[in-house]
């Protein structure tokens, strides 16, 4: 049967109309909303795929911490910071703060001596976010001097500042305890003659006093004082002078004269008269005559006998 050409024509027209309508609906209708959706989709795709693509970068000035055994001390000044070469998610890498990272190098099993230590990803510990891998550390070698730790008692020396009042002086000082235990690198401990206290102020002091719980200083930061404080007792009095006395003494041959030199505070010695002093002759263990000076009771603990001689 013969079909009329106009029927095919209309069918073709309908197909073209349908295609144009579909194109308009897909690409032209609500185009702004669709454009926004496309942008969001692209952003999500980049976030999921593009930004997650691994990158390799360098992180500078990361703190390096050395871990040693309790009886070993690091006595040189090794590298304090290292640079890390890392690979991973760019977003996570961008969020890293070098100051929050610490590279820990284990030297617990390394013996004392001058050592050159390899610094590699395999022998260090550093906490990195999941998805970030440590590739390299620079420098890859560090020089370390390891020394055995020693401990011994060392004398304490009191450090002071300021001057006692005019006309006064320090008679003596006592440190309690006199020695303290110090722990540190063996070479330093062996060469240590004493440790010093913090400075004690003596400005215008006229009387005895005790400086309590005075801290002790050690110049080597690697050394530790186990007894950290001491008490220091000061005996202070007026300035002392020497004064000579001629004292009569009864001997086997008669009355002789003895020369006596006393050392003590001026006001005390000014109150002493020759007639207040007594010299007697005693036999010593060898059977020889030996003079002995008898002081008045009230000055016996306050003066020192510098000289006693029978003329």
How do residues 31-76 score in pLDDT, each as one tens digit?
567 667 777 776 666 565 555 578 999 999 999 999 999 899 999 9
Average pLDDT of the segment spanning 88-101: 90
- Split into its structural domains, the chain has a count of 3
The residue among 247, 254, 256 whose CA lies nearest residue 293 is: 247
Checking if the pLDDT of 1 tops 50, the result is no
Looking up residue 132, the CATH number of its domain turns out to be 2.170.120.30
The residue among 189, 188, 120 whose CA lies nearest residue 153 is: 189
* Predicted pLDDT of residue 257: 93
Q: Please report, rounded to a whole number, the percentage of residues in the chain having pLDDT higher than 70.
A: 85
What is the rounded CA–CA span in Å between residue 105 and residue 125? 7
What is the rounded CA–CA span in Å between residue 304 and residue 299? 9
* Predicted pLDDT of residue 54: 84
Average pLDDT of the segment spanning 165-191: 95
Residue 277 buriedness (CB in 10 A; 0-12 / 13-18 / 19+): buried
* Domain termination site, one of 238, 267, 286: 238
- Give domain status of residue 46, yes or no: no
- Give domain status of residue 65, yes or no: yes
* Predicted pLDDT of residue 41: 73
- Which tens digits make up the pLDDT trace of 190-208? 999 999 999 999 999 999 9
- Give domain status of residue 180, yes or no: yes
* Predicted pLDDT of residue 144: 96
- Which tens digits make up the pLDDT trace of 281-306? 887 777 788 899 999 999 998 999 99
* Domain termination site, one of 214, 238, 262: 238
- Give domain status of residue 296, yes or no: yes
What is the rounded CA–CA span in Å between residue 135 and residue 56? 9
- Give domain status of residue 92, yes or no: yes
Can you give the residue range of the structural domain that contains 199?
150-238
* Predicted pLDDT of residue 2: 47
- Give domain status of residue 156, yes or no: yes
Residue 3 pLDDT level (bands cut at 50, 70, 90): very low
Residue 172: strand, helix, or coil: strand
Torsion of CA 45, 50, 52, 54, to 10 degrees: 160
For the chain, the first-to-last Cα distance in angstroms comes to 174
Looking up residue 221, the CATH number of its domain turns out to be 2.170.120.40
* Predicted pLDDT of residue 142: 95
Question: Any idea which of 23-37, 103-117, 160-174 has the lowest mean pLDDT?
Answer: 23-37
Residue 220 pLDDT level (bands cut at 50, 70, 90): confident
The overall average pLDDT reported for the chain is 88
In the chain, the largest separation of any two C-alpha atoms, in whole Å, equals 183
* Domain termination site, one of 223, 238, 253: 238
- Which tens digits make up the pLDDT trace of 253-286? 788 999 999 999 999 999 999 999 999 988 777 7
């Amino acid at each position: 049967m013969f079909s009329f050409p106009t029927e095919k024509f209309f069918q073709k027209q309908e197909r073209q109309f349908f295609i144009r309508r579909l194109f308009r609906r897909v690409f032209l209708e609500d185009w702004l909303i669709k454009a926004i959706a496309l942008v969001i989709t692209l952003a999500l795709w980049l976030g999921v795929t593009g930004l997650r693509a691994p990158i390799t970068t360098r992180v500078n000035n990361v703190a390096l911490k050395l871990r040693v055994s309790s009886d070993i001390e690091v006595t040189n000044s090794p590298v304090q910071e290292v640079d890390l070469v890392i690979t991973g998610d760019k977003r996570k890498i961008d969020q890293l703060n070098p100051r929050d990272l610490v590279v820990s190098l284990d030297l617990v099993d390394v013996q004392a001596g001058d050592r050159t230590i390899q610094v590699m990803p395999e022998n260090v510990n550093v906490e990195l976010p999941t998805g970030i891998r440590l590739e390299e550390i620079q420098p890859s070698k560090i020089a370390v001097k390891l020394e055995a730790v020693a401990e011994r008692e060392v004398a304490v020396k009191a450090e002071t500042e300021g001057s006692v009042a005019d006309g006064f002086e320090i008679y003596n000082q006592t440190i309690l305890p006199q020695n303290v235990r110090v722990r540190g690198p063996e070479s330093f401990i062996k060469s240590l003659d004493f440790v010093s206290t913090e400075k004690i102020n003596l400005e215008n002091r006229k009387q005895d006093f005790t400086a309590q719980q005075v801290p002790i200083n050690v110049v080597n930061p690697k050394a530790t004082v186990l007894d950290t404080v001491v008490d220091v007792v000061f005996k202070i009095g007026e300035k002392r002078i020497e004064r000579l006395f001629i004292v009569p003494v009864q001997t086997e041959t008669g009355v002789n004269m003895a020369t006596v030199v006393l050392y003590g505070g001026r006001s005390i010695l000014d109150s002493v008269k020759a007639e207040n002093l007594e010299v007697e002759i005693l036999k010593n263990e060898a059977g020889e005559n030996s003079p002995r000076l008898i002081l008045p009771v009230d000055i016996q603990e306050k003066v020192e006998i510098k000289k006693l001689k029978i003329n």
